[in-house]
Amino acid sequence: MEVTSNRLELKNILASLNANNYAQEVALVPTMGALHQGHLSLIDKALEKTEQVIATIFVNPFQFGANEDFAHYPKDITKDLEMLSKAGVKVVFTPNVGEMYPEGFSTNISIGPLARAFCGAARPEHFDGVCLVVSKLFNLIQPQYGVFGEKDFQQLFIIKKMVSELDMPIKIIGAPTIRNDDGLALSSRNSYLNTQQRKIASQLYARMCTLAEWLQAGMRFKDARAQTCQLLLEDGFSKIDYLDMVDQNSLDCIEIVNSSARLLIALYLDNIRLIDNIKVIT
């Protein structure tokens, strides 16, 4: 496995990979590091397409708001590289901020109103920042495939939309959410949770599954949502940011369950923000 933090060196590594593997496709798995089994499941998904899997580790400042955790985002590069090497990744790109955004960098990507909906309401810079870094990585690496987790469902949707609208010749593959035994979706940010908070967090997936059952049984979304929010607050969550039912093919909010219905939630445990989503009918 080759590792580089330098764009030029990356180009050279990719060129020699291409020369040695004529016509082999490349799959890209972008990450922010502090890797877990969820990330590795994306690598596996990428390996189903091609042996040439490139991973990136970059904590992108443009997708963090001023009061968010950019400076404290968990890091363990040694462990990450060990995991990626074992998983069968060919190249890892680990740029620093200056390498990605040299002095004077000012280009932006604006993806429109969806950037302000759901998670974007509380994090207005987030999705434009994600699209900027993902576009840059696509241009640097020129993969045929990009693999992203359904854990960040709005992000996956927005990246598919950007790729389609900007005619990027890349197929975006979504990978299912990997969860702990108690249902909590794996996340690098779970390391922020203390024992008590971790116990409360484990209620989230169960509450979402119950909500889906109520909806399948014909309960009105408005009522089922209100009851679920109440229960989550009783469980110990501090604040519900949003809990919506959307059509997963449009991200339009819906009130009546259909086969594409998906529940999206973001909520706070003290100052720790958790997100999750599930299909209503699996």
Choosing from 87, 89, 175, 261, the residue that interacts with ligand AMP (CB under 6 A) is 175
Catalytic-role residue among 36, 39, 72, 126: 39
Give the span between the Cα atoms of 171 and 163, in whole angstroms: 8
126 is known as an active-site residue: no
Please report whether residue 177 would count as binding ligand AMP according to CB under 6 A: yes
Residue type, 177: T
Quick one: which segment of 15-23, 33-41, 200-208, 267-275 binds ligand AMP (CB under 6 A)? 33-41
Q: Is 23 left (phi over 0), alpha (psi -120 to 50) or beta?
A: left
Quick one: which segment of 134-142, 170-178, 212-220, 274-282 binds ligand AMP (CB under 6 A)? 170-178
Please report whether residue 273 would count as binding ligand AMP according to CB under 6 A: no
- To ligand AMP, the closest distance from the beta carbon of 29 in angstroms equals 7
Give phi and psi for 152, each to the nearest 5.
-105, 75
Give phi and psi for 155, each to the nearest 5.
-60, -45
Chain Cα centroid distance, residue 205: 17
Please report whether residue 131 would count as binding ligand AMP according to CB under 6 A: no
Give the span between the Cα atoms of 132 and 111, in whole angstroms: 10
Pairing of the two strands 272-279 and 261-269: antiparallel
Cα angle value 149/275/219 (rounded, 5°): 105
Q: Which residues contact 219 (CB under 8 A, 6 or more apart)?
A: none
Choosing from 26, 27, 28, 31, the residue that interacts with ligand AMP (CB under 6 A) is 31
Closer residue to ligand AMP, CB minimum distance, 128 or 221:
128
Closer residue to ligand AMP, CB minimum distance, 90 or 126:
126
Quick one: which segment of 147-155, 214-222, 248-256, 265-273 binds ligand AMP (CB under 6 A)? 147-155
Please report whether residue 190 would count as binding ligand AMP according to CB under 6 A: no
Please report whether residue 148 would count as binding ligand AMP according to CB under 6 A: yes
Q: Which of residues 41-80 bind ligand AMP (CB under 6 A)?
A: 41-42
Give the span between the Cα atoms of 234 and 52, in whole angstroms: 48
* Closest by CA position to 81, among listed 73, 92, 72, 68: 92
Choosing from 95, 120, 143, 149, the residue that interacts with ligand AMP (CB under 6 A) is 149
Q: Which of residues 80-119 bind ligand AMP (CB under 6 A)?
A: none
Map residue 95 onto helix, strand or coil.
coil
Closer residue to ligand AMP, CB minimum distance, 127 or 214:
127
Please report whether residue 188 would count as binding ligand AMP according to CB under 6 A: yes
- To ligand AMP, the closest distance from the beta carbon of 212 in angstroms equals 18
31: part of which helix (H) or strand (E)?
A: strand 26-31
Choosing from 32, 140, 162, 243, the residue that interacts with ligand AMP (CB under 6 A) is 32
Cα angle value 148/152/158 (rounded, 5°): 75
Pairing of the two strands 2-4 and 261-269: unpaired
Where on the chain is the footprint of ligand AMP (CB under 6 A)? 31-32, 38-39, 41-42, 148-149, 151-152, 175, 177-178, 185-188
Q: Active-site positions?
A: 39
